[in-house]
Amino acid sequence: MLTTKMLIIASNNKHKISELKSILSGSGFKVITMAEAGFFHNIEETGNTFEENAVLKARSIALQKHTFVFADDSGLEVEALDYRPGVYSARYAGEGASDMDKINKLLHELKGKTNRRARFVSVIAISRPDGSVDTFRGEVHGKIIDAPRGINGFGYDPVFVPEGYDKTFAELEEAIKNSISHRAKSTAKMLKVISSY
């Protein structure tokens, strides 16, 4: 069993940190950021898959901090674009591009395409102090709409409508999104395993 019930999240993305802390509230684990753990280095995402990037981030901190660390690598895969942007979701419109820049590029590339099927993917890697790692994958399927709607969330949330809903992630209440999202699914799988650490 984890004695401290503390998890370091290997991310500097304030939106992702906020969402994961919200999803994990009530789980019995305290989530702290890299900065709160005294880790101030950027971790370059050089993997070709969500799994590779999540493991890279989690393991690099766990080996230095000798504690349990989890990392999420996630993104949007659009069927009509050969599952792009995928692992490049955050950098799809170039380094430093805004969420709206990324959305505009995506909508431009989908112009004239009738297949709007897409999925959000989240892979969480949890690394133990010895560097061994488990990964957990979550997906939510849906479609991309023609124009952004809603003010909540971040990234591609304003143009993604999950299956079974008529609202975008950015229109859904936070509690609903956090119960059905790709990140909620991967986190739930992780919690089942780490509760026995």
Question: Is 73 one of the catalytic residues?
Answer: yes
The residue with tokens 């799809």 is 92
Q: What is the pTM of this model?
A: 0.91
Domain ranges of the chain: 6-194
- The Cβ-side half-sphere exposure at 32, using a 13 Å CA radius, reads 16
The string of DSSP codes covering 75-119 is EEEEGGGTTEEGGGGGGTT-TT--HHHHHHHHHHHHTT----EEE
CATH topology of domain 6-194: Maf protein (3.90.950)
The continuous run of DSSP H or E covering 20 comes out as: helix 14-24
Catalytic residue among 72, 73, 99, 157: 73
Tens digit of each residue's pLDDT, the chain (197 residues): 444 578 899 998 899 999 999 999 888 888 899 989 888 888 888 999 999 999 999 988 887 877 889 999 999 999 999 999 999 999 999 989 999 999 999 999 999 999 999 999 999 999 987 778 999 999 999 999 999 999 999 999 999 999 999 999 999 999 999 999 999 999 999 999 887 76
The residue with tokens 């992702």 is 16
